[in-house]
A and B are shown apart, each in its own frame.
Chain A
């Protein structure tokens, strides 16, 4: 308790003062903006979400699958869209643009132009009757022009809000923007009178504390690269166009077909770096294309096994992320992708109806050609249209690459050139989804600091209660999932069948059961038919159960009176060849779910108080940043570091990419911030034990017992010991890049003849063991070689691919070349040989460019070795029961959308404890975690899932089986009143049911999966069908 009082006395001193802004403005409704909006509201902020187009969803809504898991993109995005849309603290201003920003951080005044849709958002129900008679058909932007839309339209079926919009560029009633009515087909057909050309645009003024810019990217039109024939040959497509073609809801319903004749292509070529890494267009690397093209090969093969050949042309294979290298190799080994390290010189009609791709055969250095049927161009990701106008409106700058400028990417990778205006996701350069959402969360942490206590924390309503014995009235909703399900399973037939099942009061089918408008419909059906149980037959509860549960709760049905049948992943997707059998299976699955639903019981909401404190484990740059941003939110924060000094790897480094700041200066500045933020630091200390659960961890550390609300793993990594590799250990002058940092620190100028040879991938990208890319090393060697050359030495880098994928990475690479660093590419299977006598004298390697062996004299050899997980990672993982990947780093909760959380609520991870990364990415992750911690702890309590196990103590014989097998430490043996039995800690219990299934006496009951419910499902499956 004394601890608590002390906290109130020492508020974080470095918080920016809160101003008059009562909310946060988020610009851009793609996955980054949506994630930010949700994180902000979770932390108690009012959010204004401004989206330029008629619907939120952004680019992720257009993608087919996400890699490396090949999950359906819209399926993992759509629940977030629905959540954002129904969140009372998010005011969505779609089809709107920010036109002005005045004021100061904490007290900004923003002007938002709400463009006229000419359709009332309040009245329109998105029925689409208006679009049918519209005489104007134009290419649909959402389908990248491969499909059509009308001049009154919604961009896509799951659009949010599902409100039609009149496109004044194309509507007959507008000539150069001036209205003059010549057509009233839509107006007259709308049954609700929602369409009116009298509606006017308006300016909305809002007061906000901070602004988040998440305006994303556009795909460059490759037409100016005339030699690639885009626009001349209809089967030359862009990556985004092909993404739509692969999508089951897209213009070809997921079939890979040639636009020229509708035939299936036998052979497809993929071309990387179209308009990016190109001085004439965009010199930066677009960062995601190398791997998304591999995904497209794999998915295309999956959709259309008749496609025989995939010829994949690339310059440097930039598979830098976690699991990416393995994914790239999977493309070769499983899908048979033919990777060709060559950039095509031209793409032409071959004269026989096919397409000739001209290129250089890298094996012979001779020109070659290959005939294909389709070509996919990975075009540059460029700043989204309107970036410059928005920059003017916000009073911020854009960089030379056209993306918003970050004032100081090392100190703060999120802040623009104006304080309190934060940039996240692709608005500050191309990024993949995990990096974008991590930045979104990070920007939230920064923004919340400006908001101070201006928060809206809503009281949570208790969950609806029911008389469990009232007669079941079940509503069954069968999803089409566009064509994902209905393309195979007869969804209408299944709905018809469901109506015949006992207890079913209402059944119907929906195009997209998860879309926002369907939620409204389900709400109405529940009310109208007085339903008390709901079954949705659609996809997976892993992603979609929360949406439907919430809809149930809003309509007065207890959310645990809900069940899902997975007729997609486990039915239509796996039985696509046998549609009739699949339909029968879907009926079985629905029948089983309905029989279980009859036995479902309402469960109450459970909450547990949380301690407003956090412990950061690991005092490297990630841990320091996370502690600063956590403490700034008024959370008591501890930082524990096992060594004597804070700073981690930063202590070994000289100057840092991209701003060339000295590492010690950066560290000093961060330590100053840490002090000001009031973080309690414990060095030379290790965590001894951790008990408890979210909000209530009991941590023994440095002889103290601390009550902790949230734990952050920032244990970082360490350099792999390259003993025995490439002459390391054998020759004194073979050192690691870490050692070379010290050399750089201590050397003013090198002797002019000093020859330094850098060797990349020493120990990483191996066929066994460390199979992945270590992500950071290319940048380090580029930086070091560049610095060495500037200090008078001669430098050469022996590499396999130069993976300079970051915003400034390509410029770093270019500068190193300009400064005279030599680059030697070696094939994957040719090793580097160091020779010498006591000291290394020469490095031999096969040069893939010259196609000959090369011997380089050397005075020093610098090995780029990978980062491996810290030795403390594994014991901590065991202590906390946190899963680790095969690579030894902690596993994140979700590879796309949950890069900062672990599977255990209340435990987060950041920086290199998750995977090797550079400083800006680590800092972003660290700040992101701080926002997550803030959101978790801000309300003072957290909701627990009530679907836990319970013990009928009278049946427990204290055998201890459950205690032994539980992954989460939930069961505890207790002794009370002379009896020994097991109790379940409900905060730790995940409701997995493992204990219940192992309990020999049946004493343990999984509350939401009782034996009775499971038996009912089995019984009905095998029951005689009449």
Chain B
């Protein structure tokens, strides 16, 4: 009975993700970044295996995929492989199969803690003075504008030794929004958005987090929620409505908003040459390629040097969901940093701070990196390096 249920489930997920339509063209396997650095991984073979057998995937095949979406980007049959594999993970988790968590499971546990009812958090002490922090009840001043911070305060502590100033991203985001006349409030007890739980197959956890967040948003009277984290943005705009219906809230990507609001006239503190890494959730998943580039283009004295692989073809930062990090991940990170170094730019910018953490991790480990390249978040870079004219 259970087996039949599982079979039926798997049939449904094959239908839903369009995996039946795989025409075995090989583009996915040729594209897959983990395969390119030595892993044995062929999405089309995984699909054929599941279609023919209805299950029985090795754990390596199940957890190895980074859900970076490059295969889907190029798939002529529009097979949603990242969704396909995460749906299979959901089925596996239901059977008690679990992935190998990184960082001693700290972050996984943190997500579970963040899903608890009536959770009180104290993580907003670093905010600029003008920002209103709502701890229960409605916003007094923000007219429904909320800024979602996300996991950065926790990550900033966990990865303290990386010296990435992950909170600076949000300070910058808030200040830049303010310069455009938007002064959002933040919520003291916002939860993790649930992105990692969702993509690693823990749907129950995702739903708990999502419901808790929506409740808090609604209580605060949120109309517009600004999100700087690409994972958060994609989760709010795609997964929330898919699983919980229309949220009634407008989620706005901070960079996209700023690119629309800010016009010419940003002066740089000196000159800089930079390169930009398109993170998967910002680029392939949300289609935001031009916006960060447009913002950088507004700054006088900043030269953008593109890497060989950018935009739709951008590489993956090598790790995702805080699971299954290994030599393959490291190799990808080193490759990417070398690619960035090849441009001759002094700084590699990204809009995803998780990318920044993973790349910094590799950079700390490796003594042999040719290019000791600086890393920054687009928002921080803009805020710190540039002064708005007039």
A-side interface residues toward B, CB under 8 Å? Answer: 226-227, 273, 277-280, 315-316, 341-346, 348-349, 358-360, 362, 365-368, 802, 813-814, 817-818, 820, 822-825, 847, 849-851, 854
Contacts and interface: CB of A to CB of B under 8 A. Distances in A.
Interface stretch (B18-26, B112-120, B198-206, B368-376): B18-26
25 contacts: A227-B312, A227-B313, A279-B76, A279-B77, A280-B76, A315-B24, A315-B25, A316-B23, A341-B26, A342-B30, A343-B25, A344-B30, A345-B28, A360-B27, A360-B29, A360-B30, A360-B42, A366-B35, A367-B29, A367-B35, A814-B21, A817-B21, A825-B24, A849-B48, A854-B52
A341 B308 CA distance: 27
Contact of B30 (A315, A359, A849): A359
B23 A365 contact: no
Nearest to B313: A227
A380 B313 CA distance: 22
B311 interface: yes
Contacts of A366: 29, 35, 40, 42
B64 to A, nearest CB: 14
Contacts of B26: 315, 341-343, 345, 359-360, 362
B116 to A, nearest CB: 42
A822 B14 CA distance: 12
A615 B308 CA distance: 68
A953 B42 CA distance: 81
A929 B8 CA distance: 53
Contacts of A341: 26
B384 interface: no
B46 to A, nearest CB: 10
Contacts of A368: 30
Interface of B: 11, 15, 20-32, 35-36, 40, 42, 44-45, 48-49, 51-52, 74, 76-78, 308-309, 311-313
Count chain B CB atoms within 10 A of each CB in A279, A343, A346, A365 and give the residue with the most. A343
Given A343-B27, A817-B21, A849 B32 contact: no
A348 B51 contact: no
Contacts of B35: 360, 366-367
Contacts of A818: 15, 20-21
Given A280-B78, A362-B26, A818-B21, A367 B48 contact: no
A279 B25 CA distance: 13
Given A343-B25, A345-B30, A850 B48 contact: yes
Contacts of B312: 226-227
A358 B29 CA distance: 10
A346 B45 contact: no
A849 B24 contact: yes
Contacts of A227: 74, 312-313
Instruction: Sort A-B residue pairs by CB-CB distance and give the 4 closest, nearest first.
Output: A345-B30, A278-B76, A345-B31, A360-B29
Contacts of A344: 27, 30
Contacts of B22: 817
A349 B307 CA distance: 12
B30 A847 contact: no
Given A344-B27, A367-B36, A277 B45 contact: no
A367 B30 contact: yes
Contacts of A822: 51-52
Contact of A226 (B11, B29, B311): B311
A968 B76 CA distance: 54
Given A315-B24, A365-B40, 20 more contacts: A226-B313, A273-B25, A277-B76, A278-B76, A342-B26, A343-B26, A360-B26, A365-B29, A366-B29, A366-B40, A367-B30, A367-B32, A368-B30, A817-B22, A818-B15, A823-B24, A847-B48, A849-B45, A849-B48, A851-B45
A343 B42 contact: no
A227 B30 CA distance: 12
Nearest to A816: B20
Nearest to B310: A226
B302 to A, nearest CB: 24
Contacts of A813: 23
A846 to B, nearest CB: 13
A227 B314 CA distance: 10
Nearest to B71: A345
B45 A365 contact: yes
A226 to B, nearest CB: 6
Contacts of B51: 822
A472 B49 CA distance: 81
Given A348-B308, A360-B42, A850 B76 contact: no
A849 B25 contact: no
Contacts of B20: 817-818, 820
Contacts of B32: 367
A854 B20 CA distance: 19
A344 B49 CA distance: 22
A226 B309 CA distance: 11
A346 B308 contact: no
Contacts of B11: 820
A227 B15 CA distance: 28
A854 B51 CA distance: 13
Contact of B31 (A226, A273, A346, A850): A346
A854 B32 CA distance: 26
A313 B13 CA distance: 31
A342 B29 CA distance: 10
A849 B25 CA distance: 10
Contacts of A278: 76
Best-surrounded residue of A342, A346, A367, A854 (most CB of chain B within 10 A): A367
Contacts of B27: 343-345, 360
A290 to B, nearest CB: 14
Contacts of B48: 847, 849-850
Nearest to A279: B78
A273 B76 contact: yes
Contacts of B52: 822, 824, 847, 850, 854
B306 to A, nearest CB: 11
Q: Which of A226, A360, A802 has the most chain B CB within a 10 Å cutoff?
A: A360
B360 to A, nearest CB: 27
Nearest to A226: B312
B251 to A, nearest CB: 26
Nearest to B42: A365
A849 B19 CA distance: 14
A343 B308 contact: no
A365 B44 CA distance: 9
A358 B315 CA distance: 14
A365 B26 CA distance: 8
A273 B44 CA distance: 18
A851 to B, nearest CB: 8
A498 B280 CA distance: 73
A54 to B, nearest CB: 36
A357 to B, nearest CB: 9
A826 to B, nearest CB: 12
A885 to B, nearest CB: 33
A316 B24 CA distance: 9
B184 to A, nearest CB: 35
A937 B269 CA distance: 88
Nearest to A821: B20
Given A277-B23, A280-B76, A358 B30 contact: yes
Given A343-B26, A360-B29, A850 B49 contact: yes
Which of B31, B32, B40: most chain A CB closer than 10 A?
B31
A272 to B, nearest CB: 10
A850 B36 CA distance: 19
A344 B76 CA distance: 12
Nearest to B308: A348
A223 B35 CA distance: 26
Contacts of A348: 308-309
A792 B339 CA distance: 53
Nearest to A315: B25
B11 to A, nearest CB: 8
B4 to A, nearest CB: 12
A343 B44 contact: no
Contacts of A817: 20-23
